[in-house]
């Protein structure tokens, strides 16, 4: 990463990486049924909201439900990871700036 890149671009890259790791952990590693649900809810928070939103959106056309559901899972989870990463970057910058100034 370039040292001059903005905080939002850094947060976006981190968010994509965290989402990829979350998908690998949830779907790539064999878990038991209960553990799979726990990892899913913990690492893909968009799944909780995507289920209710996709039910509302796909009532007229139920055939598109899987596409809408997984699209919402990715978008909401990516947004969540972006917000968390952006807040962590801003907090780090604030704390390091605060430490340098008297």
pLDDT at 33: 79
pLDDT at 102: 62
State pTM to two decimals.
0.83
Which whole number is the average pLDDT over 23-37?
85
Q: Residue 30 pLDDT more than 90?
A: no
Return d(Cα 59, Cα 41) in angstroms, integer.
24
> Residue by residue, what is the 3-state secondary structure of the chain?
CCCCCCHHHHHHHHHHHHHHHHHHHHHHCCCCHHHHHHHHHHHCCHHHHHHHHHHHHCCCCHHHHHHHHHHHHHHHHHHHHHHHHHHHHHHHHHHHHHHHCC
Q: Residue 101 pLDDT more than 70?
A: no
Higher pLDDT pick, 29 / 18: 18
């Amino acid at each position: 990463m370039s040292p001059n890149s903005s905080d939002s671009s850094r947060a976006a890259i981190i968010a994509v990486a965290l989402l990829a790791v979350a998908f690998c952990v949830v779907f790539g590693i064999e878990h038991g049924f209960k553990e799979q649900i726990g990892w899913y809810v913990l690492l893909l928070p968009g799944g909780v909201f995507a289920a209710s939103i996709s039910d509302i959106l796909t009532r007229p056309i139920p055939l598109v439900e899987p596409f809408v559901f997984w699209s919402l899972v990715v978008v909401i989870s990516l947004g969540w990871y972006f917000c968390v990463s952006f807040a962590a970057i801003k907090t780090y910058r604030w704390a390091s700036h605060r430490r340098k100034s008297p």
